[in-house]
Chain A
């Protein structure tokens, strides 16, 4: 069965891009517009990888990561931060909260695929 990737981003364009890119190489992609929706999807879907934006309304990416790691189903799922943030502090904060790694926006489709394979298998 195809592995499921959850993309959380308030930008539809980014969700579409992640969806298109990863669907193309055999993943199943589910989408959420903010951290809160993302948590709900994390609980209801068999997620193998989360690709999350940091700046979002309602619940931002940091908060999502923190909450996700407290969920039984969120523990152990690789979480990739997808961000325009280039400050090392922001990344360190995300890592401290339990993120697995990060990828800068704009990203390259081939790079995203490579990272997904690396993290989700």
Chain B
């Protein structure tokens, strides 16, 4: 008979502290409002989180490789506006691949600057945040973009459709999470990313082409952003130019909440998904509890800090640990 020793439990906690934190919040919100765990509500929250989530998957790759991507919010606005505009000009079947190609080109450009010119990713993507916003505004002329004939197109299937009762955004989020999670954990490509982010010099001496790995991570990120833009455009069938504004920080928060290190070399797709869900359920839970919204900003921060603390404390095996 297998018995759980104290060590086993400790080991589990150390690996999955963030899961424990997640479970605690879910219990707390459920006690505060019984409807929190309604299947409709849970489904709704995951569907709303799917857009942020898809972006966070890509940024996880970039962060593990030891870099940052602050451009994902404005890049998502770009993808959304472009696909909506092209929808009416070319039809959805051409608009979608065209938008993906353009977004991937932006990702390739960033990957080139960071990977091959070895520029600081913070500066490059902070600059791109502004530049891509400008590109979006130039494209749209500052006007909101709306699909003219909303009833006569199948384009809404990505954002509003359902398969076997499960919303398509959730399915796409899951599919991407499983695919990218497997790529990261089980393939040589994934191991190279950890190596590059963990110890670049050692990676070079092991014959890993660092520039190409970093470049690929930005391509993955751009692909995820394009998918998020598609979901966003299809969900609302129209958009403001600023739809993704500020999302870069929420995405980064989800990734860090999931335990990825900003120094690179650590993090998993599974934990990023948990980070995304924590953010989504906090927002929804606070709305259901009905706190005044000025208070919500503060409470959101408190919960995030608590989650990070629980995660770190579980890893260290103690709550109190001053800088020595």
The judgment on whether A and B are partners is no
Chain B contacts to A: CB under 8 angstroms? none
